[in-house]
Amino acid sequence: MAWACCMLALTSCQKDMPPVDYTGPVAEWAAYGGTWAAERYSPLTQITPENVAHLEVAWTYHTGDVSAGSEEIPSTSAFEATPILVDSMLYLPSPFNKVIALNPETGAERWVYDPQIDLSGNYANQLICRGVSYWKDTACAEADPCRGRIFMGTNDGRLIALDALTGQPCEDFGQKGEIDLVQGVGKLLFKGEYQITSPPAIAGNLVIVGSAVCDNMRLDAPSGVVRAYDAQSGSLRWSWDLRPPADTLKNLPSAESGFLLGSPNVWAPMAVDEERDLLFVPTGNPAPDYYGGMRRGIDYYGSSIVALRASTGEVVWHFQTVHHDLWDFDVPAQPTLTHIPFEGKMIPAVVQATKMGLLFCLNRETGEPIYGVEERPVPQSDVPGEQTAPTQPFPLKPPPLVPHDLKPSDAWGPLGMNGECEELLQSLHWEGIYTPPKLGQPTLMYPGNAGGSNWGGVAVDPVQHILVANVMDLAWMVELVPTTQYDSVRRANPGMEVAPQTGTPYALKRTALLSSMGLPCNPPPWGSLAAVDLQSGDILWQKPLGTVRDIAPIPLKINYGVPNLGGPMITASGLIFIAAAMDDYIRAFDLHTGEMLWEARLPAGGQATPMTYRIRPDGKQFLVIAAGGHGRAGSRLGDALVAYTLP
């Protein structure tokens, strides 16, 4: 009887699914953001709002690379990769920098290349590789080795070029297929202080790399120089070390190469406008994050979106999203290149998501704000030696995607247990957003340095001009302490980040604002998904993203909206796909309403951005997501790449 009921249910399900339409387009996913415009949009239409609920697992691939931290491998791992699909091959990196090529329809392994990074290093940003990049040498014959190349930056600071067909190093690139990027950036304190965590940008015949440098260690941190190499030979074509223009500042610290030490770095992915020969660079803030009294003007390009001439590295324009950044509000996400209808014209735009939950929409050619930006007065510092910026830029549209104020009366706790958080908030220094850190008293930092938006970026439907962003709403608290007290403060606060900021008078103490139950003190949602109409600049809808099932003491599927890392993608059929939340699900939402249409349980945390492809006219559309969790964020760890398709 039970067997008969099961068969009846299966038959009913199969009858309910509409016929699959095989007349739609085929499409690759040729770069980390879909294309180098980074709209994270696919023209595919086979998976629709009507049939998405019938998606099922097509195949699963395990990389074998995962670390929860141990004596042998001290760094945790995060599987943040988004694969690329080029010439009917699926390419992805593991957190340990293995490069893997798969059959995109079966998940069968084609080849694996292991650069054998030193896993015993203490990697500041944990073990991460978000993606690889593809370049084709059109001057080569079809059968020539390394006509198609896969480029990857490594955790130990190398740039590697591989034959896309075989996975063998391209011997004509650099030194037998690789370049040591650590050379020239200054002496490292430890292995892992300087990493490459995001995919290199490809612009014409150039491969361009930034870096991720350890935060808050020292004033003379390794240089954040951006470098462009010839994609065929590996010769250096240009470098930009973020030094202020017409430099009249004296005694700026430099490496032996001449590159500026302590400069802003570029750890997030870049975007490319080939037609205009423009490279869009999201910059971090100078070292260290929370005290800027000794920067001597080197944050001129800090926390900015910078347009470089891609072929030469020359600065075309730059727009600063945070002046004299003292909050680790570095620009965290890949810029997105799209077109915005405005005042009767179609404006070539670059949209930049930020940790403040602000979206800056700028003219791609000039850097001018499309909707306008207002400089508003902000709180000032009383820390000796600090010089706070008097104002900060606020876009007039779109509105902020996260709150900018948190009062003690807003304190949250389950079952009315908010008194602890209310007392904690009353003890913190707070004068509003951009309240600078204080000496000897904890300061509320809201939004926190982990979001609004983070490295997952945004997705844009370029036909309907709708932008989708996932954001995080978590409060933090920071405090400056005299450097002489660094060791004693670190010993007294074993569960808190205490960083030396060597070379300055002040060390840093920083932590998320949580109750003794480990739950945020600010009210939910702590994570949400929002859609923005780029024609009007208005928010269309905003809804909680994720349940507390995998982060609460009791696994209840309550849709509070939870912290998230990763990003969304959009298809032409009107679907948003996203995992990101800390509850081990991937979901599909209706683009126009925000209604959830499908969800599936992942084998581990989905802190990555999904992608999709269809490689032949009679083939299926596949949806792929890395499900390997995030060691530092505490989601469930694993090593799976999961592909979904219709039955």
Cβ atoms 155, 117 nearer than 8 A: yes
Strands (E), 432-492: 443-445, 458-461, 466-472, 476-482
**Residue 73 to residues 76, 117, 211, 212, 636: CA-CA distances in angstroms?**
8, 11, 22, 20, 18
How many whole angstroms separate alpha carbon 609 and alpha carbon 568?
6
And the tokens for 27? 């499409």
| CB atoms near residue 539 (< 10 Å) | 17
**Residue 491 to residues 216, 494, 496: CA-CA distances in angstroms?**
18, 6, 10
Tokens 């001449």, residue?
258
Burial (CB count <10 Å: 0-12, 13-18, 19+), residue 383? buried
Examine the residue annotation and report whether 639 is marked as an active-site residue of this protein.
no
φ and ψ at 316, to 5 degrees? -95, -45
**Which residue of the set 215, 328, 473, 639 is catalytic?**
328
Pairing of strands 41-42, 569-571: parallel
In a 13 Å sphere around the CA of 26, the CA atoms on its Cβ side amount to 11
How many whole angstroms separate alpha carbon 556 and alpha carbon 547?
8
And the tokens for 534? 């780029």
400: preceding bond cis by omega (within 30 degrees): no
Indicate which residues carry an active-site annotation.
328
